[in-house]
A and B are shown apart, each in its own frame.
Chain A
Amino acid sequence: MVNKMRIFKVLLTITLLLGLSSNLAAKELKVGFVYVSPVGDAGWSYAHDMGRQAVEALDGVTTSYVEAVPEGPDAERVIQNMARKDYDVVFATSFGYMDPMLKVAKQFPDTVFMHCSGFKTAKNMGNYFGRMYQARFLSGMVAGAMTESDIIGYAAAFPIPEVIRGINAFTLGAQSVNEDATVRVVWTKTWYDPATEKEAAKSLLDVGADVIAQHQDSPGPQEAAQEKGVYSIGYNSDMSTFAPKAHLTAPVWNWGPYYQSVIKEVQEGTWKSESVWPGIETGIVGLAPFGDMVPQEIRDMVAAKKAELVAGTTDVFTGPIKDQQGKVRIAEGVQADDKTLLGMTWFVEGIVGTTK
């Protein structure tokens, strides 16, 4: 009897082990990424693709991507095809992919969908973004400290809350170290158009800007600044190779660790749909290495501020903050909540330009 029991136990253990190992082998995850622009752009999609490569490096994961996918019906088809081809996780990395992804998520309940920069979720669709405005604030400090004409140019993409929030944070950063700093904004209405974006930067240089910041994906504005012999602040990734003499620093994305954590959750079965907006404390946003021209005292000042942001002892959008008309939008001592930040459509005082 005892013997039989023992054999049974052994058999059970073996079965369990076999089951477990085959289970592990079956957990080979297929992960798809959808990008809005070509990955070679040094910008937004490039930064996401660095994240994808970090995921690819994990055990038991294969990845692929489709680039230059227009927002709208084309995106729906691409996401749908990934789901049909048994991709387990799909990351869609542009705002306009939100509604298409939501439609597909309803059709494929077993696939995990992750949408970047939106606000809608479903049972199997989460969304994520990073608090880039914190890094923008720090880059604004650098620009405010380095400008001599007190005019900083900002080549902006589209007048949507994400971009406006970034410009506001940047301006507040510049003003925190230089009360006289003004930020001049030009809209290109492009995400990636090197020629237009370079021209926009030139028009800002013509009105006396001696630091150029940008929100688009192309290094066009960086090149314009270098040609004029003034400074620039990049975006998305370290753009210093395009303008080594101009590039002060850049607020950059670092998606790798976040993407890896999502994939690990899916592998372990602990993933659940949520909206996350991690900040600088997680390292998802940060600053690119400083150019040689940035003096040590500015580096120290920025590092100190960064430490405060990481520790959570200070925040970018804490009142009083006035808009361009001088009206107080965020009252004294109040810290703006996420809803205010996500729907921000007004400029802070000190910006020259309109939100249209």
Chain B
Amino acid sequence: MLHLKISKRQDPLGWRSCFVIFGAVALALFFSALLLALRGTPPHEGIFVLFKGAFGSRWAIEDCLIKAIPIFLCSLGVAIAFRLQIWNIGAEGQFCMGALGATWMALSFPDQPAWVVLPAMVIMAVIAGGLWGFIPALLRQKMQTNEIIVSLMMNYIAILILDYLVYGIWKDPTSFGFPMSPTFSDAAIVGKIGSTSVNWGLLHCAVLAVAVWAFFRFTTIGYELKASGSNVKAARYAGLPYNKQVFLVMILSGALAGWAGFIEASATVNRLQPSIMVGYGYTAIVVAWLASLNPFYIGIASILLAGLRVGVENLQLDLQVPAAFGGIMEGFILLTVLAGGFFIYYRFSFTAKQ
């Protein structure tokens, strides 16, 4: 009789782990197809329409990239904190504060040229987002609060501040009382790349991703962060400044989410309004885990998840599949990929039982 044996691998799978991930995604697609079949939609057609809507045309790819930009930046941010095992669930609020900071500058300097107002917006977005990351870190280090709870609660505070401002002093006088800021001046809007509909935020993503990668690869502080991330106790014992590191990663994390808020307010919405908050900060957490916190994989996962969200609209329009299907599919993918992670570190073998 065969006996199932589970043992830890000597070395993790390395590059071959991509097969595990492909397998996991394929399994998620299979479950999704099954679900489509159950409600009477031809599954192959459904999956085809989904992919066509996500990546099947130039527009689709552009739409998908636009949506991937804020998800990517937020995710890059939370991944930095996660690597130190600091659980920043507050990207949503940090994103919101970034949008507020950028809007503040855009509304304060309506007549300045782009080279003045855009940098001012970026700086204020980064400061505001970073501050929103700093507060949970401060409370954690000084008062031993749990950063998961505090950063999560701060999301609601940030959104209430946004509401307060757009219902109050920032309300556009020509909006008939509806909660939205005036449209930004042209100088305060991040433009589009050439003839595409994708904005220059894509370039910001590339530059920031390389910067984050280089920071961890080439600087002493980055190296120390990596060391602390792999074993907090050992790092403390080695005399690494753990307290300072916590502040640093939370501020960096918040600053990147804030940058995402700036791009979203400036490039895609062109103003501040409550509907700017669509949960990118939470999606970012999913993406960071799917990508095992690696900046390059985060890029891929952001695009895939953005593609899924865009593609599901196509599925609704062409085959009348309900909107909730997208959420279910996302859940399947997260579940199978995370479960698949098990196979990267463990192996199964069958031995004959005696």
Contact = CB atoms under 8 A, between A and B. Distances in A.
Contacts of A189: 163
B269 A72 contact: yes
B268 interface: yes
A112 B63 CA distance: 22
Given A81-B313, A160-B178, A160-B179, A64 B275 contact: no
B278 A70 contact: yes
B144 to A, nearest CB: 32
B278 A72 contact: yes
Interface in A70-95: 70-74, 77-78, 80-82, 84-85, 95
Contacts of A290: none
Nearest to A189: B163
A234 B317 CA distance: 30
A68 B323 contact: yes
A244 interface: no
A336 interface: no
Contacts of B269: 72-73
Interface of B is mostly: helix
B2 interface: no
Contacts of B317: 32, 64-66, 78, 81-82, 85
Contacts, number: 76
A129 to B, nearest CB: 12
Contacts of B310: 77
Contacts of B67: 73-74, 77
B196 to A, nearest CB: 14
Contacts of B179: 158, 160
A72 B276 contact: yes
Most buried by B among A74, A84, A161, A356: A74
Interface residues of A, number: 34
Nearest to B315: A66
A77 B313 CA distance: 9
A38 B313 contact: no
Interface stretch (A207-215, A299-307, A322-330, A339-347): A339-347
A245 B67 CA distance: 47
B316 A66 contact: yes
Nearest to A66: B316
Contact of B323 (A32, A67, A344): A67
A291 interface: no
Given A64-B317, A68-B323, A344 B276 contact: no
B122 interface: no
For the complex of A and B, the 6 pairs showing the least CB-CB separation, nearest first, are: A71-B275, A68-B323, A73-B268, A161-B177, A72-B275, A66-B316
Given A66-B317, A71-B275, A72-B278, 19 more contacts: A38-B322, A66-B313, A66-B323, A68-B323, A69-B323, A71-B273, A72-B269, A73-B66, A73-B268, A77-B66, A78-B317, A81-B59, A85-B317, A96-B273, A160-B177, A160-B179, A161-B177, A343-B176, A345-B177
Interface of B: 53, 59, 63, 66-67, 163, 167, 176-179, 264, 268-269, 273, 275-276, 278, 310, 313-314, 316-318, 320, 322-324
